[in-house]
Structure 1
Amino acid sequence: MYEGPVQDLIDELGRLPGIGPKSAQRLAFHLLTADGADITRLQTALQRVKDEVKFCTECGNVAEGDLCRICNDPRRDAGVICVVEEPKDVPAIERTREFRGRYHVLGGAISPIDGIGPDQLRIAQLLRRIAEPGVNEVILATDPNLEGEATATYLIRMLRTFPDLAVTRLASGLPVGGDLEYADEVTLGRAFSGRRSVDA
Structure 2
Amino acid sequence: MGGPEIERLIDLLAKLPGLGPRSARRATLALLRQPQVRLLPLASAMQQAARVVRSCALCGNLDSCDPCTICNDPGRDRSLICVVEGVGDLWALERAGVHRGLYHVLGGTLSPLGGVGPEDLNLSPLLARIEGGETREVILALGATVEGATTAHWLNERLAASRIAVSRVGQGVPMGGALDVLDDGTLAAALTARRPA
TM-score in terms of structure 1 length: 0.78
Structure 1 residue ranges without an equivalent (≥5): 176-190
Give the Å deviation of 1:117. 2.9
Q: 1:98 to 1:31 in 2, by over 3 A?
A: closer
Aligned mates of 1:2, 1:119 — CA distance in 2: 46
Q: 1:7 to 1:143 in 2, by over 3 A?
A: same
What letter corresponds to residue 73 of structure 1 in structure 2? D
What letter corresponds to residue 154 of structure 1 in structure 2? W
Q: 1:27 to 1:115 in 2, by over 3 A?
A: farther
Percent of residue pairs identical: 44
Task: Report the 3-state secondary structure (helix = DSSP H, G, I; strand = E; otherwise coil) of the residue aligned with 1:78.
Answer: strand
What letter corresponds to residue 170 of structure 2 in structure 1? A
Q: 1:79 to 1:174 in 2, by over 3 A?
A: closer
1:109 — aligned with what? Answer: 109
**1:50-100: per-residue Cα shift (whole Å, max 9, x none)?**
111111111111222211111111221111110011122223222333322
Aligned length: 177
**Which of structures 1 and 2 has the larger relative contact order (alpha carbons within 8 angstroms, sep 6+)?**
2
Larger radius of gyration: 1
Aligned mates of 1:25, 1:8 — CA distance in 2: 11
1:170 — aligned with what? Answer: 169
Please say which of residues 80-89 and 90-99 is displaced more in the overlay: 90-99
Aligned mates of 1:80, 1:105 — CA distance in 2: 14
Q: 1:23 to 1:115 in 2, by over 3 A?
A: farther
2:24 — aligned with what? Answer: 24
**1:146-187: per-residue Cα shift (whole Å, max 9, x none)?**
33222222212222232x111000002488xxxxxxxxxxxx
Matches within 5 A, 1:142-161: 142-161=142-161
2:129 — aligned with what? Answer: 129
1:186 — aligned with what? Answer: none
Aligned mates of 1:120, 1:107 — CA distance in 2: 9
**1:115-153: per-residue Cα shift (whole Å, max 9, x none)?**
433222111221111111121110000112233222222
Q: 1:74 to 1:145 in 2, by over 3 A?
A: same
Q: Is residue 94 of structure 1 aligned with residue 117 of structure 2? A: no
Task: Report the 3-state secondary structure (helix = DSSP H, G, I; strand = E; otherwise coil) of the residue aligned with 1:140.
Answer: strand
What value does the CA root-mean-square deviation take over the aligned residues? 2.5
Check the 8 A contact 2:32/2:39 in 1, yes or no: no
